Structure 1
Amino acid sequence: MKVARLAAVDAAQAARVLSEMREATLAGQRARITPRPVIEQSWGRMLRSGVDPERDRRSGLLPSDEVRRRREESPLRHVLPVLREGLLSVADVAQHIMVVADADGRVLWREGSPPVLRKADGLGFELGADWREDVVGTNGVGTPAVVRRPVQVFAAEHFVRSQTSWTCSGAPITDPRDGRLLGVVDVSGPLETMHPATLAWVDSVAKLAEARLRERHLVSLERLRTVAAPVLARLAGRAVVVDRNGWAAAVTGMPYVRRVTLPKSLAPGRRWLPTLGSCAVEPLAGGWLLRADDEPLAAARRRIVLDLVRPDRCMVTVAASTGSWSRELSPRHAELLFLLAEHPAGRGAAGLAEDLFGDPSRTVTVRAEMSRIRRYLGELLQHRPYRFCDDTEVEVILPDDFRDLLPQSTAPAVTRKRNAAQGARTGSP
C-alpha cells in the first residue's frame, strides 16, 4: 500500500498505519507494510549513527549575526523571490511554512502561516537550527540533502517521535554549473494538511530556482567577457579569464576550457593550477586573469584522495609537490571516481554504463560525464580505457559502515557494495 494513496483517502488513517509500521520496524518486528526504501535506508543510517528515536535532540541555534552572514554569502538569496512566489501563497493557505536551509542543514529563512510557525518553534524548527539528518533524524531538510533528490516525510516516517505529528516535503537545490549542493527548500506543516502532490510542487519550484541561478551565471560571464576582451587582445601566449569560481569567460592562445579549478584562497602571484600548470595570477574586475607559462612543468608524482565519508559532501583532493587543490563532487562524479578506484586497470565506457545504469549501451552519458571530470582532473585521468594515471597514487576514504556508501546512488555496482555489507552483517549469503 503506497503512502500517497493512503493519504489521499484519510491522512489520519495513514498516520496510524505508519505509526504501527514505525513501532514494529524499530522494534525489529514484522510490520503490515514496510517503509519506503528511501525511509528505510534513512532509518538505517540513523540507527548506525546512534540517533535516539525517543529523544528530541537539538543542537544550538546559530547566533543572529551568523545567520545574517550565511544569508549574505549564500547563492540561495538570489532565488528567494522565485521560492516565495512559487510556494508561499499556497503554503500559507494550506497551513504550511516554507523553510530554506543551506548545505550544512542550517535554517536560514522560514516564512508562512504564523500558527504553523509557532508549532515549528516547539519542534526546534527555528532560524539557525541544525536539521541535518544525523542530528535530528529523518526529515524533509536533512534527508533530501543526503540522497540528493526530493523526499516527502509523512508523520511516523520521521525517525524521532516528537516529529511524527508533522509532514515535510523537501527538494535539494544544486548549483547548476557543477552539481554542488547549495541547500534545501522544504514545505512543512501538521500532518492533516499533507497532500500527495506537495512533493512534485516543491521539486518544480526548486528546479525553477536552479534555472534562475543558471541565468545569473550566464549574465555574469558575459559581463566578465566584455571586461576581458581588451585585456586579452594585448597579450601574447596562453591566457584565460575566469570568474571567482574558475568559470572561463574568454581565452587566448589556447583551446577553450570550461572551468579552471581554483584553490579556496587565491591571491595574486605565481600559482600552480590544474590543467594550466604554473600561472601568473592577476586580479580582474569580477574575476582573475591567468597567464600560463610557456614552459610545461616537469612531471611530479601526485596523489588523489577521494573522500566519501560524508554522504552529503564528497570531495576529491589532488596533492603534489607543486601545490594542492580540492573540489566538491556532484553525486554522479563521486560514483564514477569511486568505480574507477575499484578498477585500477581501467574501465571502458560500456563497463561504466553497466556499473551505473545496468545498461552497457548508455555510453554517451558516461563519455559526457567523464569529459566533464577530465576538465578538472586533466592528465590525471586517462581514457581507452578510463583510468587514473599510472604514476598517481589514489586513496579512497570510505564511511566506517559500507552501508553508508554514496547513499544517494542507485547504481547497480554501488548497490552491490552496500548489499554485500548488509549481507556480511546479517550472515546472509
Structure 2
Amino acid sequence: MERGSVAAPGALAPYSAANARRLHGVRDARLAGERAAQAPRAEIDASWDRVLRSGVRPEQSLESRLLETDEIEHRRRASALGEVMPLLRDGLATIVDAARQIMVVTDDEGRVLWRQGHPGVMRLAKDICLEEGAAWEEAVTGTNAIGTALATRAPVQVHSAEHFVRALHDWTCAAAPVRDPRDGRLMGIVDVTGPASTFHPATMALVGSVAALAESELRNRHLMAVERLRSVAAPILCRLGGRALAVDTHGWPAAVSGMPPLSRLPLPKSLRPGRVWLASLGMCEVEPLPGGWLVRVADDPSEAPPRRVVLDLRRERGLAVHVAGPVGTWTRQLSPRHAELLYALALHREGRTAAELAQDVFGDPTRTVTVRAEISRMRRHLAEVLAHRPYRFGEGVEVEVVLPAVRADLLPRSTAPVVVGARTAGGPPRPDPARAGRG
C-alpha cells in the first residue's frame, strides 16, 4: 500500500498525515453518535463500547496511582513471566530500541512490571504514565493495546486516534497475551509501544510470535521439572502401599501408585506438610519432595473437612471464628483486622482479589502486600476453610456471621469501608447463611 492511501475496512494503514486525519474523523463521528464515512475496525468499535460504558472520558488525563516499589517487586517475583524476561528482552528489546519503541510487560491486571527500549521514548512514555506500577486496563486508560488485549484475551494493535483517550493519539502500540501453559491462566501482556510515526503493520505479528515463544519456553521448563520430580518420586512410590501420587507445586502429577492417574490435582496455595483435605481425594498426608509433594490418600473415608464456620462479631473484645466439622468444633480468637477481612469474604462468597480486599479494608486497592500477608497468617489456622485465587471461603463450607444487635456496634473502631458501609443505613446486608452455605 502506498503512503497516503486509505486502508481497506478492517485493516491498519501505514502512518501518514492523511490516515491520521481519517482515524480522527472516524473516532469523532463515533463519539458524536454520527455515521462516519468508514467504520472503525470491529475490535476497536467493541472496545470503544466497553470504554464508554465504564465511564472513561475522551479528554481525561492519563494519571494513574502507581504501585509502591515493594508491591512491584512482589508482583515480579510472583509472576512466572520473570522466568522468561531474558527471552523477551532478546526477542524484542533490541528490535524496539532500533525502531524507537519500547517493550512493556504487565501482569494479569494490566499493571506495568517491566519496560525497556529506546531511552528517548522511555522518557516520553512517562508523560502518558506508561511506567512501572501504572494501570493500563481499559477501565482506567481507555482503548489501548494492553487493556484491549486483556479484555479480549487476543493480540491487538491500536494506532493513533483508535485510542479512546485523546492524550494517546500520538502513540501506536501492539500487544499480545501470555498464558501459563500449566493451567491456561492469563499471566500478563507483552506490548510494544512508540510514537505514532514508528507504526508498522508487522509489529503485531512480531509481538504475537515472541509471546508464543515465551509460552513455549515455560512449557518446556515445566516438562523438565516434572521429569526431574518423577525420577525422585518413582522409587519412593514403589515402596509405599495404598494410594499415593507425586505432584509438582502446581498439582501436575509426576508419578502415581495404587490409583488411576489424574490429569491434575488442585492444591491449596499455602500447602504445608501434614494432614490436609483435598476435594478430589479426601483426607491426605502430604510430605515435601524436591520440586513438589508426595500425597498419600488416607484410608479412612469418613474423615471430612470442616463444614460450618461461624464468624462471631457481636463483641469488640470477643471477636472469634468457630469452625465445626464431623469430629468436633474449635475456636480461634480474631484480631480486628482479621475480623474485617473475614467479614468482607463472608459478604462476597464468590471471592475477592487482593486488590478488592485492599479496597474493602483500607479504601486503597494498591495495598495488596498487606492483604496478602494478613491472609497468609490467617490461612495458617484456617487453611481448611479459606481458599484462594480468588480469596474466599471454600466450596461447601456453610458460613454464618453473628452481628451485634445494633448495627452501629459492628467493629466500632474500624474504619474499613466494608464495615463503615455496614454500620450506616443502607449499608451492605447481613450475609444470608442459607445462601452462603451453598459456597
Say yes or no: TM over 0.5.
yes
Distance 1:5 1:12 in 2: 17
- Point out the more displaced range, 224-233 or 15-24: 224-233
Q: Cα–Cα, structure 1 residues 222 and 42, in superposed 2: closer, same or farther, change >3 Å?
A: same
Whole-Å separation in 1 of the counterparts to 2:25 and 2:207: 28
| Aligned counterpart in structure 1 of residue 52 of structure 2, from 38, 47, 60 | 47
Shift of 1:299: 9.7
1:15 pairs with 2:34: no
The aligned counterpart of 1:406 is none
Deviation at 1:73, TM superposition (A): 2.0
The answer (yes or no) to whether the contact 2:110–2:188 under 8 Å persists in 1 is yes
Cα distance, 1:192–1:151 mapped onto 2, change above 3 Å: same
Provide Cα deviations, 1:374-400, integer angstroms capped at 9, x if missing partner.
Answer: xxxxxxxxxxxxxxxxxxx989xxxxx
SS at match of 1:123: coil
- Give CA-to-partner distance per residue, 1:113-147, whole Å, 9 cap, x none: 11111110111001111111211111111111111
Shift of the 213–277 alpha-carbon distance from structure 1 to 2, 3 Å rule, reads same
Tell me, what secondary structure is at the counterpart of 2:225?
A: helix
Quote the residue 1:262 is aligned against: 267
Shift of 1:295: 4.0
Q: Which amino acid aligns with 1:96?
A: Q
Q: 1:307 to 1:25 in 2, by over 3 A?
A: farther
In the alignment, the residues of structure 2 paired with residue 295 and residue 218 of structure 1 have an alpha-carbon distance, to the nearest angstrom, of 34
CA distance in 2, matches of 1:3, 1:113: 32
Q: Distance in 2 between matches of 1:14 and 1:297?
A: 71
* 264 and 121 in structure 1: CA distance in 2 versus 1, 3 angstrom threshold: same
Which ranges of 4 or more aligned residues in structure 1 deviate by more than 4 Å? 3-6, 297-300, 305-310, 322-328
Contact 2:243 2:257 in 1 (8 A): yes
* Matched AA of 1:228: A
Whichever residue aligns with residue 183 of structure 1, its letter is G
1:2 is aligned to 8
CA contact (8 A) 1:6 1:13 kept: no
Give the match for residue 136 of structure 2.
131
Amino acid paired to 2:214: A
Cα separation, 2, equivalents of 1:25 and 1:38: 14
Letter in 1 for 2:167: S
Q: 1:235 maps to what in 2? A: 240
C-alpha distance in 2 between matches for 1:157 and 1:308: 35
Go from structure 1 to structure 2 and tell me whether the alpha carbon gap of 1:79 and 1:52 turns closer, same or farther (over 3 Å shift): same
Instruction: Report the counterpart of residue 118 of structure 1 in structure 2.
Output: 123
> 1:229, 1:250 within 8 Å by CA — same for their partners in 2?
yes
Q: C-alpha displacement at 1:233, in angstroms?
A: 2.1
On the 8 A contact 2:51/2:142 being kept in 1, the answer is: yes
Identity %: 53
Superposed displacement of residue 185, structure 1: 0.4
Aligned counterpart, 2:80: 75
Cα deviation, residue 237, structure 1: 0.5
Q: Name the structure 2 match of 1:208.
A: 213
Letter in 1 for 2:222: H
Match of 2:32 in 1: 27
Distance 1:308 1:151, change over 3 A: farther
Match of 1:151 in 2: 156
Structure 2 counterpart SS, 1:202: helix
Distance in 1 (alpha carbons) for counterparts of 2:227 and 2:78 = 22
| Equivalent-residue separation in structure 2 for 1:325 and 1:262 (angstroms) | 10
- Quote the Cα distance in structure 2 between the aligned partners of 1:177 and 1:249: 13
Instruction: State the aligned residue count.
Output: 320
Partner of 1:174: 179
TM-score of the pair, normalised by structure 2: 0.67
| Cα separation, partners in 2 of 1:44 and 1:394, compared to 1, 3 Å | farther
What amino acid is aligned across from residue 92 of structure 1 in structure 2? D
| Equivalent in the alignment of 2:314 | none
**Equivalent-residue separation in structure 1 for 2:22 and 2:139 (angstroms):** 25
Of 196, 218, 222 in structure 1, the residue corresponding to residue 223 of structure 2 is 218
Q: Deviations over 1:387-421 (max 9, x none)?
A: xxxxxx989xxxxxxxxxxxxxxxxxxxxxxxxxx
Provide the rounded CA distance (Å) in 2 between the counterparts of 1:265 and 1:309. 17
Alignment partner of 1:58 out of 55, 58, 63: 63
Cα deviation code 1:272-327 (max 9, x no counterpart): 21321221122222221111123445899x9xx996999xxxxxxxxxxx857566
The answer (yes or no) to whether the contact 1:11–1:191 under 8 Å persists in 2 is: no
Q: Partner letter of residue 182 of structure 1?
A: M
